[in-house]
Amino acid sequence: MSNNIIAAAVALITCLSCARGSVEVPVNRDTPIYPDYMGVTIPYNIAPLNFHYTSTGIRKAVTTATCNDVVLQFKGREVVWDLQLWKDFIETAQGDTLFFSADLICKGGRKEHLEWQVYVSADKLDPYISYRLIEPGYEVWHEVEIRERCIENFQERILSDWRNTGNSCMNCHVHSQARSDLSIFYVRGKNGGAFLNRNGELRKLSLKAKDMISGTVYGEIHPSGRYGVFSTNIIIPGFHTQGSRRLEVYDTKSDLAIADFDNNEMTVPQALSRKDVFETFPAFSADGKSIYYCAADTLPLPGDIEKLRYSLMRVSFDERTGRAGQDVEVIWDAEEHKASVCHPKCSPDGKWIMYTVAEYGTFPIWHTECQLEMMNLHTGEIVNMDTANSDRSDTYHSWSSTGRWFVFASKRGDGKYGRPYFCHVDECGQLTKPFVLPQEDPWHYENSLRSFNIPDLSDGPVDFDAETIGRMVKEVEAEEFK
């Protein structure tokens, strides 16, 4: 990059950075910049890391960014990159380090000097992420949307929303191993159904048969695309009268069911639908030969809710017949760990399984102790994830197609709003400090009043949008399953 280009870039960024330099918005942050991008590892294809300084009374700020022989300067409380300039800056930085420094002058002449680094990984992150935007409350909800965002820039579009579905609830847009041509999500209520996106075709399905206790709830698609494994649950919300845990969601009944999308058939395996066991949160192994799920002995609820602990289980799956095996294996024992597990997800490379651990229960997003844990499927070793976890709820994770990255929803910071955080995993299971999804406006998360729920990665954009879903809700009958 020539000196002339650098000078022009400085001038451009100075204009962008000073646009809101005089705005004083009170924030309560533990780090001097927000979002906190200090010491993080990022993929080389991520959008610009726009941020602002959190100190109050800043009168002047000069930020310097350096990589190899390129030096850029920003003026103002906010650092907002031009997209092309950012791409040029990190293009040759794969496997290298970005160096940042800042000199701040605050009220009364107080000076601050900051220095930090950002490491640029050569491991690419899948370029798209979908998530549900929803208010973080639990009494009511409205204006729910499922959106898809390109992580390489700031382009975002709506996949399904309240406007086109009669203000219906919608949830759980999940891809199979980050494939854009294989995903599923639900629109609930009147004229709703499961919307299966498979090989360029979008279908509206009624995933319920007469021997199931309810329609399907949580689930995942088999790598072949032919099958899905789902829980079928009777879900009850309950409210705590004391303590910081506001809401408890629990099942009074739950089984597992297997869907054959080619033949429109539902199967409820006997081994996975015991009356004395709650079975939920199923997921396929990377090769599709096993089903992982969570199971707990039934208890009188809600009275014994704090005794309800789920173990991580595994059972074989035969792709030729679409049947689960009879022999169930305990992978992670709840009694041994004195805790409860939920949301298991296998990495596409077949090496890891990640899940959420809480003191008890099956839906612990309001539990501050709720954290991620990862197991090496080859050795059974549990990986320390203190680097990724926080003192708030960390859950609802999704793997990248390579197994080198994962995204998860974290309530770190204010404890109320879930945000999508990314973390790198190397071949030995070493983790890096997570970073939040970059936004064009560095104040976006302070100003947003909705949570990013169930973030899920994808190798490309899906082939439908909110208008397509709206038409199908109104005009297409859901395909029945037997």
pLDDT single digits (tens) 204-224: 999 998 889 999 999 999 999
pLDDT at residue 272 tops 80:
yes
Q: To the nearest whole number, what is the mean pLDDT of the chain?
A: 89
- Order of strands across the sheet with 51-53? 33-34, 51-53, 78-79
Complete DSSP assignment for 323-377: EE-S--EEEE-HHHHTSEEEEEEE-TTSSEEEEEEESS-S--TT-TT-EEEEEET
Q: How far is CA 63 from the centre of its chain?
A: 31
List the single range of 18-22, 138-142, 180-184, 259-263 with lowest mean pLDDT: 18-22
Q: Which two tokens stand for residue 361?
A: 């229960």
CA dihedral 448, 451, 454, 455 (to 10 degrees): 20
Q: Do 375 and 403 lie in a common domain? A: yes
Question: What is the SS3 assignment for 81?
Answer: coil
Domain boundary among 121, 140, 171: 121
Q: CATH number, domain at 112? A: 2.60.40.10
* 52 and 25 belong to one structural domain: yes
Query: What residues form DSSP beta bridges with 230?
Result: 219, 257
Same structural domain, 337 and 362 = yes
C-alpha distance across the termini of the chain, in Å: 63
Cα of 326 vs its chain's centroid, Å: 32
- How far apart are alpha carbons 456 and 440 in whole angstroms? 20
- Whether 365 is covered by a domain: the verdict is yes
| Number of structural domains found in the chain | 2
Q: Is the pLDDT of residue 14 over 70?
A: no
Domain for residue 284, yes or no? yes
Residue 385 and residue 322 share a domain: yes
For residues 353, 354, 360, 365, the Cα torsion angle rounded to the nearest 10 degrees is -150
Q: What average pLDDT does range 115-131 have in this prediction? A: 97
Helices 83-91 and 3-18 cross at an angle (nearest 10°) of: 130
pLDDT at position 242 over 50? no
Is 482 part of any domain?
no
Residue whose C-alpha is closest to residue 268's, from 312, 227, 324, 221:
324
**481 within some domain:** no
Statement to judge: residues 162 and 25 lie in one domain: no
For 80, the domain range is 3-121
Average pLDDT over residues 388-416: 92
Same domain, 236 and 107: no
DSSP structural state of residue 437: P
Phi/psi at 448 (5° precision): -80, 135
CA atoms within a 13 Å half-sphere pointing along the CA-CB vector of 7: 3
pLDDT digits (tens, 9 = 90+) for 221-236: 999 999 999 999 987 7
Q: Is residue 480 in some structural domain?
A: no
Does residue 21 surpass a pLDDT of 80?
Answer: no
Using alpha carbons, select from 465, 422, 460, 436 the residue that is nearest to residue 128. 460
Other residues' Cβ atoms within 10 Å of the Cβ of residue 453: 20
Q: How distant, in Å, are the alpha carbons of 56, 102, 305 from that of 24?
A: 7, 19, 45
Boundary residue ending a domain (121, 141, 167): 121
88/207 same-domain check:
no
191 and 241 both lie in a single domain = yes
Of the pLDDT bands very low, low, confident and very high (cuts 50, 70, 90), residue 141 is low
Q: Among 68, 96, 121, where does a domain finish?
A: 121
Are 334 and 368 in a shared domain? yes
The answer to whether position 13 is within a domain reads: yes
| Cα distances (Å, whole numbers) of residue 94 to 58, 73, 185, 257 | 34, 21, 35, 44
DSSP for residue 436: E
**Domain CATH for 318:** 2.120.10.30
Alpha-carbon distance of 248 to 250, in angstroms, equals: 6
pLDDT, residue 239, reads 53
The verdict on 76 and 177 lying in the same domain is: no
- Tell me the CA distances in angstroms from 89 to 65, 71, 77, one per residue in order: 9, 9, 21
Residue 398 domain-assigned?
yes
Pick from 181, 180, 186: which is nearest to 219 by CA?
Answer: 186
pLDDT of residue 4: 34
Question: For residue 11, what pLDDT is reported?
Answer: 34
Q: Are residues 54 and 93 in the same domain?
A: yes
pLDDT score recorded for residue 42: 98
Q: What is the pLDDT of residue 247?
A: 62
Residue 62 falls within a domain, yes or no? yes
Written as six digits, the tokens of 388 are: 């990724």
Say whether both 373 and 226 belong to one domain. yes
Q: pTM score, two decimals? A: 0.90
Ramachandran category for residue 5: left, alpha or beta (phi over 0 → left; psi -120 to 50 → alpha): alpha
Name the 3-class secondary structure at 203: strand
C-alpha neighbours within 13 Å on the C-beta side of residue 139: 0
Identify the helix (H) or strand (E) that includes residue 88: helix 83-91
